[in-house]
Amino acid sequence: MQLSSGALSLSPPIFLAPLAGITDLPFRQIVSRFGAGMVVSEMVASQDMVIGRAGTREKTELGLEAENTAVQLAGREARWMAEAARMVEANGAQMIDINMGCPAKKVVTGYSGSALLKDLDHALGLIEAVVGAVKLPVTLKTRLGWDDTNLNAPELAKRAEAAGIQMITIHGRTRCQFYKGRADWAAIARVKDAVSIPVIANGDITNLNSAKQALALSGADGIMVGRGVQGRPWLLSELAHELFQAPKVARPNLKEFGQLVAEHYDSILQFYGRDLGVRVARKHLGWYMDEAGTAQALRRKILTAATPEDVFEVLPDAMEQEQAA
């Protein structure tokens, strides 16, 4: 199944969510290798990117053939959002996603992310600035509303569509819920009814059963998966095959799994440098070991290893356990 809207064309409609500190270039490349309709970068603060604050440019680095990659921008001022969008376009991005859903306190207190759900006029000014600054497709990711008394995602979606947004992803919680409780997939249906552009369901989608439920209850055109992919970069391809008849991609066997983890670890070291890379990689190694069912002694040895050489030495034994179902 191919999802199309204006200049946007994505297939299959199963996407990798932006995850702070996780969906960097090495991880996006691993997920894309198995298959995903779109992968989204970590959220990038627009003003930080423009003034060149350390780390923000690395977050948007795309590689040469990243045709299914969107860079997610956040901000509160139209001039910074527009300039960051132009920089991203010049950097080779194929799509730009605007973040109006992050519930983190440091983002919301800066009047960015889901704080914009409290001021739709200001939110629209940012959307218009980005859409007007670039020729790329621009999408939007947000939540159901600020709280249960202000469920204004349908109104935002309708106005965003009129401003040129080509797809909208809805996390099925309000900002005030953060990540508590369960995502309300049925509430996303009100957004779907309000617009003609594609609507993507997000939140608590971690396996085939939850993916089916999210699509059925929301009526959405596709899904976006975040935490469920941690340690399982092949998950999107499996869901795409089951839900949208995409070509089947085999899950790696034990030996292939170990090779995959070693390759991902090495790409992290290359991307961040040796010292920072060792620290950044630990969370990924932890998720991979969850999937592999690694024994506690080996797990501890890897997560406390001081050098990459120490990790590579024991990695094959740690990953060639019996993989979790």
List, as one string, the DSSP characters of 305-320.
Answer: -SSHHHHHHHHHHHHS
What is the C-alpha separation between 32 and 22, in angstroms, rounded? 14
Q: How confident is the model at residue 151 (pLDDT cuts 50, 70, 90)?
A: very high
Q: Which helix (H) or strand (E) holds 133?
A: helix 120-133
pTM of the entire structure?
Answer: 0.91
Q: Beta strands of 159-250 (E only): which ranges?
A: 168-171, 199-202, 222-225
Q: Which tokens belong to 299?
A: 């797990």
Helix axes 120-133, 78-90, angle to 10 degrees: 30
Q: Which tokens belong to 9?
A: 């064309």
> For residue 293, is it left (φ>0), alpha (ψ between -120 and 50) or beta?
left
Cα–Cα distance list, 214 to 135, 155, 203 (Å)? 32, 21, 9
Q: Which residues contact 298 (CB under 8 A, 6 or more apart)?
A: 289, 314, 317, 318
Is the CB of residue 170 less than 8 Å from the CB of residue 199? Answer: yes
Residue type, 152: N
Q: How confident is the model at residue 63 (pLDDT cuts 50, 70, 90)?
A: very low
Residue 18 has pLDDT above 70, yes or no: yes
**Active-site hit among 17, 50, 81, 102:** 102
Q: Is 176 a catalytic residue?
A: no
Q: How large a percentage of the chain has pLDDT more than 70? A: 90
Residue 249 has pLDDT above 80, yes or no: yes
Which one of 1-15, 30-44, 110-124, 130-144 scores highest in mean pLDDT?
130-144
